Amino acid sequence: MGAIIGYVRVSTEEQQTGAQRHAIESRYKVDRWFSDDAVSGATKAARRGGFSSLMSYIREGDTLVVNAIDRLGRDTVDVLETVERLHAEGVAVVSIREGFELGTPVGKAMLTMLAAIAELERSNIKARQMAGILKARAEGRRLGREKVIDDRAVAEWRWTNNETITRTAQHFRISVPSVKRAWRRAREEGWLKTDASQAG
């Protein structure tokens, strides 16, 4: 028989984990405790110190018990991924408040509901991202990857045309610091035919 693992979390330093522990201990004899104190539920489970240690410790056949499903997190997508990962590793997940146990029909039904909510959240995130992209385009802001700059081409164009740094930046549609960097590299690495040094 596997171990009973208790996990508790509070979001602020003013809060205490005592009530959560008591609720769990009233139903289960816990073999090992893990906690995250003053850690927001918005923080991904994998980035919490206590939960990360729990994931390293827990084994197939163990049961993870929380007082409420929101102790695992407040991001539905993250909670679903966490529960699915535990399930894949053969770990049962029990939430006392919701009566959520992954291995039971009711637990599986709740997991299905959780998945539906998570999918809705993913869709909402994509919709917000698209709205942001459309707004940026409407405002004339550039999107996508940062432009790849050919330092040698920039330096040689400036040298050949005897142009200033500012004019070169405008020609290539890059920043002044980028032109300065290209020019410095050209002189250091000897790309130019002569040691020209136009004023910028």
Catalytic residue among 11, 35, 52, 175: 11
pLDDT at 103 over 70: no
Q: 111-128: per-residue pLDDT in tens?
A: 677 667 767 766 777 788
pTM over 0.75: no
pLDDT value, residue 197: 44
Per-chain mean pLDDT for the chain: 83
Where would I find the beta strands (DSSP E) of 87-198? 92-95, 100-101
> In 71-104, where does DSSP find H-type helix?
76-88
**Average pLDDT of the residues in 145-173:** 85
| Sheet with strand 63-66: strands edge to edge | 32-36, 4-9, 63-66, 92-95, 100-101
Task: Please state the domain extents for the chain.
Answer: 4-116, 151-189
Query: How many Cβ atoms sit within 10 Å of the Cβ of residue 164?
Result: 15
Q: Among 1.20.1560.10, 3.40.50.1390, 3.40.50.1970, 3.90.480.20, what is the CATH number of 4-116?
A: 3.40.50.1390
**Average pLDDT of the residues in 55-68:** 94
Where would I find the beta strands (DSSP E) of the chain? 4-9, 32-36, 63-66, 92-95, 100-101
pLDDT at 88 over 60: yes
Catalytic residue status for 11: yes
Structure tokens at 120: 């809705």
